[in-house]
Structure 1
């Protein structure tokens, strides 16, 4: 026979029996868990359903689930893509930097003068379009009757007369320079006066009333007339893409380059007329600067236009070195296509 237990002992035993009993085995069901609040706490204000805070909801690895695992995996992939994009951008920036350095090293970032236009480019003279044209290398010349000093190569340095000139004519003033290469035994002042006389003639370009001319030796200019040795002519004309073979003149951009050999030996169509041939040379090239292209003979027995390449042959016309006749009429002819 067991001694009677106290009320407290009986109460503890009853609690043990209830704890050991499986759910649904006769005892009352366990109280429901309070809903989770912010930061995993139950109830409002982060507390449980009773004063002093309720029990926290247990967290286990199973509770994370597949969705959260997929989110972590997506985040890892996003970070990986970000790293790849960042590295690629850095590589591109480095390549661009190296390219820029190479560009500068080879002069790409240096400001240069504009490249010379290609040979035989037609345009509008001083109005912005460059024109390059040369005489044919097989143009006939006159054999000299006396010894002439025609060096193959000069010093390569050009000399200017000491002063300029007054303005010739009325209209838009075209400023020009005259230069003579050193080593030619040619007086720069004498050559400059020859050019001045040609441009001031009443049969010259001033006859139109549209243009006037003034020679300058500094500042801005519209064109320059240069007397040069055959080798120097080849060098200058070659920079414009032309082959002159040391025998002919050329013009390109603002440069009118007169070959000393051609200036002294003339052409058979102007035999014994050096002044007339010199006038043809200057007026023809200045005509290009004013925007005129090549022309051809307008008819047998008529005066050849100054813009005709008369050294090719006169084609039935009479030799003429002036753009206007004695009555102020412009001597023109059919245009030569592409020239």
Structure 2
């Protein structure tokens, strides 16, 4: 019978020891088939030590990245200050008709909050053409609140900015004195839809509404309310209408609506068309204009309620609060005209 050769594992077993003890003894030779093992007690003298970091010298070493931040912050601060000192661009004026709106750039006076035919101060002079035709000491009084006349229109006008308007009547006015709310509204709508009115210039669109927000509130108003400082703010003896930009209210003076103006003689409809177009012209950014040529049609933005002669209008405008530079005293006199597009 052949004798079996015993390996180291059997020998260890015969000696009564653990057959696995020898393989992990330091200095013992690894047997075949055993896994590689890392040293479990590394030699501290052989550990890798990272090289010391080189310290930067000078200012860069002291302040590091902060040295770059300082000039960047200085540049940003200078740019911000320059931007603050730049003047803001002029605001664009509201679009007008073919003549265009008046801009407030170039040293011109800014548009006042209330634009009306009459100055705010008292007038001692007598201007016959500014009187109500055939009426003396006219007085009326309303409640100071308005009621919207029901009714709307389709949008009209070929292009440009859209303005929505309401038609309103001051409460307390006797309807028989002006023909009633519907008649007043029809005159407003018909005038503004006419191609000789502002829409004819091609850069204004309009639409009548009877609820919601309106850009212009066309309001038939008693003389007493119109004269108040918070509406038209005038105290001269002559009646006038106005555009109050702060309240978005176009005040049509009831006295003028009923009796017209001397310059228009007995043509009450022609005067009413003028009053509408003149005051809404202010809402579109237009300013007062003088008669440009003797015998020609007056510009609709001339203060025709007081006459169509420059000398008369100039005299009235010299009162405190008047539009003193609008009309020269040059003797020119025009013919009455209710339309901006002629």
TM superposition score normalised by structure 2: 0.53
Counterpart of 1:323 in structure 2 is: 340
In structure 2, C-alpha distance between the alignment counterparts of 1:231 and 1:272, rounded to whole Å: 25
Q: CA RMSD in A?
A: 2.7
In structure 1, C-alpha distance between the alignment counterparts of 2:302 and 2:232, rounded to whole Å: 22
Provide closer, same or farther for how the CA distance between residues 183 and 241 of structure 1 changes in structure 2, counting only shifts above 3 A: closer
Counterpart of 1:170 in structure 2 is: 158
In structure 1, C-alpha distance between the alignment counterparts of 2:250 and 2:117, rounded to whole Å: 12
Cα offset for 1:312?
3.2
Cα offset for 1:250?
2.2
Cα offset for 1:240?
6.3
Which of 291, 294, 300 in structure 1 is aligned with 2:288? 294
2:218 counterpart SS class: strand
Provide closer, same or farther for how the CA distance between residues 244 and 168 of structure 1 changes in structure 2, counting only shifts above 3 A: farther
Counterpart of 1:247 in structure 2 is: 239
Q: Deviations over 1:120-151 (max 9, x none)?
A: xxx9458996642222376222016xxxxx86
Gaps of 5+ in 2: 1-91, 96-100, 102-109, 310-332
1:296 counterpart SS class: coil
1:292 counterpart SS class: coil
Contact conserved, 1:124 with 1:292, CA < 8 A, in 2? no
Of Structure 1 and Structure 2, which has the larger fraction of its residues in helix? 1
In structure 1, C-alpha distance between the alignment counterparts of 2:149 and 2:170, rounded to whole Å: 12
TM superposition score normalised by structure 1: 0.53
Counterpart of 2:117 in structure 1 is: 135
In structure 2, C-alpha distance between the alignment counterparts of 1:142 and 1:241, rounded to whole Å: 23
2:217 counterpart SS class: strand
Q: Deviations over 1:252-285 (max 9, x none)?
A: 1111111111111111111111111011111011
In structure 2, C-alpha distance between the alignment counterparts of 1:278 and 1:309, rounded to whole Å: 13
Counterpart of 2:87 in structure 1 is: none
Provide closer, same or farther for how the CA distance between residues 246 and 299 of structure 1 changes in structure 2, counting only shifts above 3 A: closer
Counterpart of 1:217 in structure 2 is: 210
In structure 1, C-alpha distance between the alignment counterparts of 2:145 and 2:301, rounded to whole Å: 30
Q: Deviations over 1:72-123 (max 9, x none)?
A: xxxxxxxxxxxxxxxxxxxxxxxxxxxxxxxxxxxxxxxxxxxxxxxxxxx9
Larger Rg: 1
Contact conserved, 1:153 with 1:231, CA < 8 A, in 2? yes
2:150 counterpart SS class: coil
Provide closer, same or farther for how the CA distance between residues 182 and 214 of structure 1 changes in structure 2, counting only shifts above 3 A: same
Which of 301, 304, 309 in structure 1 is aligned with 2:298? 304
Contact conserved, 2:142 with 2:170, CA < 8 A, in 1? yes
Cα offset for 1:159?
1.5
2:295 counterpart SS class: coil
Counterpart of 1:269 in structure 2 is: 263
Provide closer, same or farther for how the CA distance between residues 132 and 125 of structure 1 changes in structure 2, counting only shifts above 3 A: farther
Contact conserved, 2:168 with 2:220, CA < 8 A, in 1? yes
1:164 counterpart SS class: coil
In structure 1, C-alpha distance between the alignment counterparts of 2:238 and 2:335, rounded to whole Å: 28
In structure 2, C-alpha distance between the alignment counterparts of 1:219 and 1:269, rounded to whole Å: 38
In structure 2, C-alpha distance between the alignment counterparts of 1:168 and 1:153, rounded to whole Å: 35
Contact conserved, 1:173 with 1:213, CA < 8 A, in 2? yes
Task: Flag as ranges the 4+ runs of structure 1 deviating above 6 A.
Answer: none
Which of 155, 158, 174 in structure 1 is aligned with 2:146? 158
| Match status 1:281 vs 2:275 | yes
Contact conserved, 2:241 with 2:279, CA < 8 A, in 1? no
Counterpart of 1:80 in structure 2 is: none
Contact conserved, 1:234 with 1:243, CA < 8 A, in 2? yes
Provide closer, same or farther for how the CA distance between residues 228 and 169 of structure 1 changes in structure 2, counting only shifts above 3 A: same
In structure 2, C-alpha distance between the alignment counterparts of 1:246 and 1:318, rounded to whole Å: 21
Aligned length: 198
Cα offset for 1:227?
0.6
